């Protein structure tokens, strides 16, 4: 069951395939969470995250906390919104509904701007909404894992800063950080939350996020205490600052093994220009999307400008059923995911193409995936019309 063993290629939109060196870092011998060697590893990891998010502004603040990506929503909702605050949630699928639930748990008032499935809210309607009400936060799912829809951050940020400059712009980047270009400083983002197990290429178990100095200031001027204990910036901010300054500090015990794996993964990612990494993801995505089109299939995201580069959501042909197709693909050595958007979950499949499956020239995961999909559909009786 070791990292080297033969196993089917995991090509779902997260968790992804992990590099063997990353997996081996997981079995690092036990260290004290406040001892100098681990404190240095954690501190370097936080500094490397600044590079991944392309931020050099010293007021930006990275957080790495044991938890899943979902915890990032609590970090935002319990610290950056206060009870009664208005929040505008751009809706491109399943995850906007959950993020909204999270905001409501902590007392914020949510307005959703919903796009039809496979699309995203357009700038003019966002502008209209921002002019109607004063929003404390606007949230956008950069890549919605349920639909494969990519949102455009640069133009959105320009709009928000022009129309409602006090509104904090928060990005759910769980399925985008590490495979889509994110220029935290240049695009004036206020928060990007993500998780370890997707394009960052480290096993699940870490909530990873970056906040602007403006967001941290907004937190510090709250009138009410944070709504969560485990997700409280008040508890974590000094810890993150101390670790990055290589000073031991304690609020809750971090996971040295996961931090080592993240350190290894970030070191690998940052060993080449980020632009090359993003270009590789775009190229591979184009290859897969071309294969899908050649098969006569449609994506949920119909407009090429709305299509994510790290995953593809594909409508199945009428007569092909998920419970038949996915097990057949598994036999061919690749694991795809079923649908997640509740309205159409049985009608589409999702394939992830992130991390080493894209960047490691020794892997043939993507070619195998395309061949398996072609053969699987053919064996299910599908022929291109």
**Is 350 annotated among the ligand-binding residues?**
yes
Which of 106/243 has CB closer to a second copy? 106
State the Cα–Cα distance between residues 310 and 308, nearest whole angstrom: 6
Q: Is 171 exposed, middle or buried (0-12, 13-18, 19+ CB in 10 A)?
A: buried
Residues in the chain: 385
Return the range that interacts with a second copy (CB under 8 A); candidates 44-52, 211-219, 227-235, 238-246.
227-235
Which of 213/333 has CB closer to a second copy? 333
Is residue 268 close enough to count as binding a second copy by CB under 8 A? Answer: no
Return the range that interacts with a second copy (CB under 8 A); candidates 132-140, 149-157, 249-257, 293-301.
249-257
Q: CA 187 → CA 141, 178, 184, 380, distances in Å?
A: 15, 16, 6, 46
DSSP designation for 108: P
Is residue 302 close enough to count as binding a second copy by CB under 8 A? Answer: no
Please name the residues in contact with 14: beta carbons below 8 A apart, sequence gap of 6 or more: 145, 174, 175, 195, 197, 198, 352, 354
Beta carbons of 167 and 137 less than 8 angstroms apart:
yes
Return the range that interacts with a second copy (CB under 8 A); candidates 20-28, 150-158, 162-170, 212-220.
20-28
Return the range that interacts with a second copy (CB under 8 A); candidates 32-40, 118-126, 157-165, 317-325.
32-40
Which of 24/119 has CB closer to a second copy? 24
Is residue 189 close enough to count as binding a second copy by CB under 8 A? Answer: no
State the Cα–Cα distance between residues 305 and 64, nearest whole angstrom: 31
Cis link prior to 96 (omega < 30° from 0)?
A: no
Beta carbons of 320 and 373 less than 8 angstroms apart:
no
Residue 104 CB, shortest distance to a second copy, in Å, is 9
Q: List binding-site positions.
A: 350
Residues that bind a second copy in the complex, under the rule CB under 8 A: 1-3, 5, 7, 10, 12, 14-18, 23-35, 66-71, 73-74, 77-78, 101-102, 105-106, 195, 197, 203-205, 225-232, 250-258, 260, 335, 337, 340
Q: List binding-site positions for substrate.
A: 350
């Amino acid at each position: 069951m070791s990292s080297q063993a033969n196993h089917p290629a995991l090509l779902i939109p997260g968790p992804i395939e992990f590099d063997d060196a990353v997996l081996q870092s997981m079995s690092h011998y036990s260290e004290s969470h406040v001892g100098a060697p681990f404190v240095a590893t954690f501190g370097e990891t936080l500094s490397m995250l600044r590079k991944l998010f392309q931020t050099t502004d010293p007021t930006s603040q990275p957080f790495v906390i044991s938890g899943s990506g979902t915890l990032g929503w609590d970090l935002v909702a319990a610290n950056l919104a206060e009870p009664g605050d208005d929040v505008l949630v751009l809706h491109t699928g399943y995850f906007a509904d959950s993020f909204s639930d999270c905001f409501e748990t902590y007392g914020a008032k949510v307005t959703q701007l919903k796009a039809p499935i496979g699309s995203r809210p357009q700038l003019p309607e966002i502008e209209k909404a921002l002019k109607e009400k004063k929003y404390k936060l606007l949230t956008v799912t950069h890549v919605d894992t349920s639909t494969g829809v990519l949102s455009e951050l640069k133009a959105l940020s320009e709009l928000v800063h022009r129309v409602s400059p006090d509104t904090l712009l928060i990005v759910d980047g769980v399925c985008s950080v590490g495979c889509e270009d994110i220029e935290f400083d240049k695009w004036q983002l206020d928060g990007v939350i993500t998780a370890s197990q997707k394009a960052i290429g480290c096993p699940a178990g870490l909530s990873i996020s970056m906040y602007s100095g403006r967001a941290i200031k907004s937190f510090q001027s709250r009138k009410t205490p944070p709504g969560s204990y485990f997700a409280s910036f008040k508890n974590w901010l000094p810890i993150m600052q101390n670790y990055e300054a290589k000073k031991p500090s304690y609020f809750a015990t971090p996971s040295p093994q996961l931090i080592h794996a993240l350190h290894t993964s970030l070191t690998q990612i940052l060993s080449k220009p980020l632009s090359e990494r993003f270009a590789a993801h775009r190229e591979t995505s184009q290859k897969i999307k071309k294969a899908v089109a050649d098969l006569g299939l449609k994506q949920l995201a119909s407009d090429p400008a709305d299509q994510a580069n790290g995953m593809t959501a594909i409508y199945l042909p009428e007569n092909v059923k998920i419970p038949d197709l996915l097990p057949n693909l598994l036999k061919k050595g690749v694991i795809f995911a079923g649908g997640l958007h509740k309205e159409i979950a049985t009608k589409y499949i999702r394939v992830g193409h992130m991390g080493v499956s894209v960047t490691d020239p020794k892997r043939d995961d993507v070619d195998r995936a395309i061949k398996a999909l072609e053969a699987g559909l053919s064996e299910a009786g599908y022929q291109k019309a």
